[in-house]
C-alpha cells in the first residue's frame, strides 16, 4: 500500500505540524509532457515572419561557422573545436532572444551563440586556437568567458543576475549548460540560489543526448531534465531544441518572466550533437549511424526552411543569399585564422595580479633574459 493509496489520508484531524504550510503549487512548475514545438504545428501561424527569416539567416551562417571551425582544426589552426552542428537552433535563438544589456554565460560549446550575439569569431575562438584563455572583453560584450569546468558558470550567472537586480538594473542572465553538466553539484547549487534569490536568470540546458560518450540514460533517470525545476521551485520548460522558433519563444517568455521579477526558469532543449564531441573524439565508438541519420532528418535548418518555403517566405534566391552571406563570413574567418597570432610570452606575468609580486617580477626577468638569449642565438 503506497502512501497515496492510504484510505485515511484525507481524514486528518486538524493538527498538522505547526510550521508546515502548503507552499507553492507544483503544478505550474512542471514541464509539458512533450517538447514544445512551433515549426510544422499550428503555432507556427503566430510566429513573426521577420523573426523566422532572421533565425534562418543566422542558422545558415551558424552551420557554415561550425563547418569552417572544424576545418580549421584539420589545418592545425585550432587546438580543438567542440562543434555545435545540429544544435544551431539553440545557439542562435539564445543569442537573438537576449537584449543587448543582458548577459550570456556560454560553455565551451557555445562559441556560436557568442558570435551570433555579435562577437568577432576570431575573438570567440581564441581559447580554442590557444593563444589565450579568453579572446574578448567580457564586460564590453556582456559575454562571460567560455567556461570549461562543467556547470561552474551557472552560479556565476546567478550571482551576476542577483547583483544586477540589487542595483536595480534591467539585466537578465542566460546561462547555457549541457545535459551532462546537470549532474554536477554546481548545477544544483546554482538553481537553488537562483530560486531562493528570485534572480533574473534563465538556465538553458542543451540536451544533445551525450556527455562525450555517455548517453542521457546513464546520466539521469528523471522524466526529463526540465522536471528538475520543480525541486527548486521554478518553472521547467521542455522544448524541441531543433525548432529555432520554439526555442526563441520559450526563451523569450522565460527572459520576460525574469525581467519582470518572476524569477528563474529552467529550459531543457532536446537536440542532438551531430558531430563528435570534438574533432579529437571518435563518435563511432559509442553510437550508430542510424541514430545520427534520424536526427539529420530533424535538422534545424531543414525544419525552418520547410516552414518558410511552405509559407512562401523563402525561395531559391533567398536561400542563395543566406548561403552567400555565410560563405563570406567563412572566407573572412578562414583568412584571418590563417594568420599567426602575435604573442608576447611576457603576458604570462602581466595579469596574474593587479600588481606584480616580487616573485613574479623575478620570474619575468628570468624569462626575459631567456628570450633575449634565444633571440641572440638565432
Partner 1 sequence: MTTAAVKPASMAQALQRAMRDAMAEDPTVHVMGEDVGTLGGVFRVTDGLAKEFGEDRCTDTPLAEAGILGTAVGMAMYGLRPVVEMQFDAFAYPAFEQLISHVARMRNRTRGGMPMPITVRVPYGGGIGGVEHHSDSSEAYYMATPGLHVVTPSTVDDAYGLLRAAIASDDPVVFLEPKRLYWSKATWSPDAPSAVEPIGRAVVRRPGRSATLITYGPSVPVCMEAAEAAASEGWDLEVVDLRSLVPFDDETVCASVRRTGRAVVVHEATGFGGPGGEIAARVTERCFHHLEAPVLRVAGFDIPYPPPMLERHHLPGVDRVLDAVARLQWEAGS
Ligand X SMILES: Cc1ncc(C[n+]2csc(CCOP(=O)(O)OP(=O)(O)O)c2C)c(N)n1
Among 298, 313, 327, 334, binds its own copies (CB under 8 A): 298
CA pair distance 286, 218, nearest whole angstrom: 13
* Closest CB 145 distance from partner 1, rounded Å: 6
Instruction: By CB under 8 A, tell whether 334 contacts its own copies.
Output: no
Distance CA 371, CA 373 (A): 5
C-alpha grid cell, residue 156: 556565476
What's the CA gap between 210 and 276, in Å, rounded? 10
Least Cα distance to 247 among 288, 205, 298, 219 occurs for 205
SS3 132: coil
Cell numbers given for 73: 582544426
> Candidates 41-49, 60-68, 322-330, 360-368 — which segment interacts with partner 1 by CB under 8 A?
360-368
Residue among 66, 70, 87, 208 that touches Mg ion (CB under 5 A)? 208
Radius of gyration, CA atoms only, the chain: 24
Q: How far is CA 187 from CA 138, 243, 377, in A?
A: 22, 25, 52
For the chain, the first-to-last Cα distance in angstroms comes to: 84
Active-site pick, 188, 286, 287, 306: 286
Task: Check binding of 184 to its own copies (CB under 8 A).
Answer: yes
Catalytic residue flag (residue 198): no
Residues binding ligand X: number (CB under 6 A): 14
Residue 181 binds: one of ligand X, Mg ion, its own copies, none (C-beta under 5 to 8 A by kind): ligand X
Tell me if 377 contacts its own copies by CB under 8 A: no
- Output the nine-digit C-alpha cell for 362: 623575478
> Active-site residue 277, yes or no?
yes
Q: Pattern of binders to partner 1 over 132-171, x per CB under 8 A?
A: xxx--xxxx---xx--xxx-x-xxxxxxxxxxx-xx----
Which one of 24-32, 121-129, 171-179, 221-229 is the stretch in contact with Mg ion (CB under 5 A)? 171-179
Select from 56-64, 106-114, 131-139, 266-274 the region that touches its own copies (CB under 8 A): 266-274
Taking alpha carbons only, the member of 230, 237, 163 closest to residue 200 is 163
Q: Does 75 bind partner 1 (CB under 8 A)?
A: no
Report what 163 binds from ligand X, its own copies, partner 1, none; CB cut-off 5-8 Å by kind. partner 1
Q: Toward its own copies, which CB reaches closer, 4 or 358?
A: 4
Cβ proximity to its own copies, 287 vs 319, nearer residue:
287
Q: Cα(148)–Cα(2) distance, rounded to whole angstroms?
A: 44
Contact 223, 32 (CB under 8 A): no
The binding track of 228-267 with respect to partner 1, each residue x by CB under 8 A or -, is: ----------------------------------------
What's the order of all strands across the beta sheet hosting 103-105?
Answer: 103-105, 173-178, 201-207, 265-270, 236-240
CB-CB neighbours of 240 under 10 Å:
25
Site for partner 1 in 300-319 (CB under 8 A): none
Question: Contact 172/134 with Cβ under 8 angstroms?
Answer: no
From the list ligand X, Mg ion, partner 1, none, pick the one residue 262 interacts with, judged by a Cβ distance below 5 to 8 Å according to partner type. Answer: none
Q: How many CB atoms lie within 10 A of CB 200?
A: 29
Asked if residue 285 binds partner 1 (CB under 8 A), the reply is: yes
Active site residue 273: yes
Hey, which residues between 175 and 214 contact partner 1 (CB under 8 A)? Answer: 180-181, 183-186, 188-190, 192-193, 196, 211-214
Nearest distance from residue 220's CB to ligand X, in Å? 11
- Which of 180, 200, 233, 235 contacts ligand X by CB under 6 A? 180
| Total chain residues near its own copies (CB under 8 A) | 83
Q: Which residues pair with 103 in a beta bridge?
A: 173
As a whole number of angstroms, the distance between CA 352 and CA 358 comes to 12
Reference 155, options 203, 108, 112, 109; nearest CA is: 203
Which position among 150, 195, 239, 329 is part of the footprint of ligand X (CB under 6 A)? 150
**Site for its own copies contains 319 (CB under 8 A):** no
- Please give the residue ranges that form the binding site for ligand X (CB under 6 A): 109, 148-150, 178-181, 208, 210-212, 273, 277
Residues tagged active-site: 273, 277, 286
Amino acid at each position: 500500500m503506497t502512501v497515496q493509496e492510504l484510505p485515511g489520508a484525507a481524514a486528518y484531524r486538524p493538527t498538522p505540524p505547526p510550521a508546515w504550510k502548503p507552499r507553492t503549487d507544483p503544478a505550474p512548475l512542471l514541464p509539458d509532457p512533450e517538447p514544445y514545438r512551433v515549426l510544422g504545428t499550428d503555432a507556427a501561424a503566430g510566429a513573426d515572419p521577420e523573426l523566422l527569416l532572421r533565425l534562418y539567416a543566422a542558422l545558415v551562417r551558424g552551420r557554415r561557422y561550425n563547418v569552417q571551425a572544424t576545418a580549421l582544426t584539420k589545418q592545425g589552426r585550432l587546438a580543438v573545436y567542440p562543434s555545435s552542428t545540429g544544435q544551431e537552433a539553440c545557439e542562435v535563438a539564445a543569442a537573438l532572444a537576449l537584449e543587448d544589456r543582458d548577459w550570456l554565460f556560454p560553455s565551451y560549446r557555445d562559441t556560436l551563440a557568442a558570435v551570433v550575439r555579435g562577437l568577432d569569431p576570431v575573438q570567440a575562438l581564441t581559447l580554442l586556437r590557444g593563444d589565450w584563455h579568453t579572446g574578448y572583453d567580457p564586460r564590453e560584450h556582456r559575454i562571460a568567458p567560455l567556461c570549461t569546468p562543467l556547470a561552474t558558470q551557472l552560479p556565476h550567472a546567478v550571482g551576476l543576475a542577483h547583483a544586477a537586480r540589487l542595483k536595480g538594473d534591467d539585466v537578465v542572465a542566460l546561462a547555457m549548460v549541457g545535459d551532462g553538466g546537470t549532474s554536477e553539484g554546481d548545477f544544483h547549487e546554482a538553481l537553488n540560489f537562483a530560486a531562493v534569490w528570485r534572480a533574473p536568470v534563465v538556465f538553458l540546458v542543451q540536451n544533445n543526448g551525450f556527455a562525450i560518450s555517455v548517453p542521457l540514460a546513464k546520466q539521469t533517470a528523471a522524466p526529463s531534465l526540465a522536471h528538475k525545476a520543480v525541486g527548486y521551485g521554478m518553472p521547467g520548460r521542455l522544448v524541441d531544441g531543433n525548432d529555432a522558433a520554439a526555442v526563441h519563444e520559450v526563451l523569450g517568455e522565460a527572459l520576460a518572466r525574469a525581467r519582470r521579477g518572476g524569477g528563474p526558469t529552467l529550459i531543457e532543449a532536446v537536440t542532438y550533437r551531430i558531430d563528435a564531441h570534438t574533432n579529437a573524439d571518435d563518435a563511432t565508438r559509442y553510437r550508430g549511424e542510424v541514430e545520427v541519420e534520424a536526427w539529420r532528418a530533424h535538422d534545424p535548418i531543414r525544419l525552418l526552411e520547410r516552414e518558410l518555403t511552405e509559407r512562401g517566405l523563402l525561395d531559391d534566391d533567398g536561400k542563395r543569399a543566406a548561403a552567400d552571406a555565410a560563405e563570406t563570413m567563412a572566407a573572412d574567418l578562414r583568412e584571418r585564422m590563417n594568420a599567426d597570432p602575435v604573442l608576447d610570452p611576457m603576458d604570462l606575468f602581466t595579469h596574474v595580479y593587479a600588481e606584480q609580486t616580487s616573485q613574479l617580477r623575478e620570474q619575468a626577468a628570468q624569462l626575459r633574459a631567456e628570450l633575449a638569449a634565444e633571440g641572440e642565438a638565432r
